[in-house]
Amino acid sequence: MTILLAPMEGLLDFVLRDVLTRVGGIDRCVSEFIRITDQLLPERVFTRIVPELLNGGRTFAGVPVRAQLLGSDPVCLAENAARLAALGPAGIDLNFGCPANVVNRHGGGAALLKEPETIFAIVKAVRAAVPAGMPVSAKMRLGYNDDSNALECAQAIADGGAGELVVHARTKAQAYRPPAYWERIADIRAVVNIPVVANGEIWTVDDARRCREASGCDMLMIGRGAVADPGLGLAIKADMAGLSHAASGVTWPLLLPLVADFWHIVCTRLDTRARAGRLKQWLNFLRRRFPEAEVAYQCLKTINDPTVIDEWLALQLQDLATTKRHAGLSRSAAVM
């Protein structure tokens, strides 16, 4: 069972990739997209969006990261892919699925699903531009307004030379509204000769099980589900191995130090005005799974002063340490 961590612009960036891959259960990541328009980008742009390029193409936990490109010009994408490949990512991924209107208006992301011939040209050009040993993959949705071009687009990606395809089982028009149509991924698997990864609406172990059955995929990509439950990858793998996934879950006492680490990275790497919002954004997801995150969110939702947040987190960690110390003393007393 292979679990990939999804790219999500404005949410799942290098900060969360760092923290979530420390938890475990993630085999590979894909970065948020690097937009390519009409110029060859300097190396600093690639390393700013994917700082893992400065760490051998891996997160600090050692999980490989593929860098994702988004654009519609095959020649410009190929030139940038060649420069990017020289920086040593774990692979290059091509975005044919972003539903954002600002991206689609400029012919990128999911808008390309209306043009299978352009998709083919992009993949072929990028594949030819990078070293043979550099993996090239792609991510697509089922279509733009409908899924009538799904098989043709998937075939274009495979024929262009991609070695792997991630399918988000919704159209652009369906955005992120449930359900995800996992059975259509099985239809795509039947017409391409490359590995296919199922993606979309996987929030729980049960979702993963049903997605695997409907799609036939042994590879899953999780995004918002992992943000809300950082232990989801571990739990899915435990379930697929016939083990108790409840025992592999991540508890709040284990997660709280990672929340503090997340905040530290945010304060070190991001603009001051964005810091508190990033923490509250993650807590907003975590409260779907952890009652303690709901308490934290309510305490911090009106606070933007980093100093106050520092103090609040320090107090939480101190209380956690006290609780663990008392629990350890209680166990020692019980043994005696």
- Active-site positions read 98
| Euclidean distance between CA atoms 250 and 289, whole angstroms | 10
Q: Report residue 180 as tokens.
A: 């995800």
| Euclidean distance between CA atoms 46 and 50, whole angstroms | 6
Whether the Cβ atoms of residue 14 and residue 37 lie closer than 8 Å to each other: no
| Euclidean distance between CA atoms 88 and 251, whole angstroms | 35
Whether the Cβ atoms of residue 154 and residue 191 lie closer than 8 Å to each other: yes
Distance of CA 177 to the CA centre of its chain: 18
Q: Which of 74, 4, 16, 2 is nearest to 266 (CA)?
A: 16
| Euclidean distance between CA atoms 247 and 334, whole angstroms | 24
Q: Which helix (H) or strand (E) holds 102?
A: helix 101-104
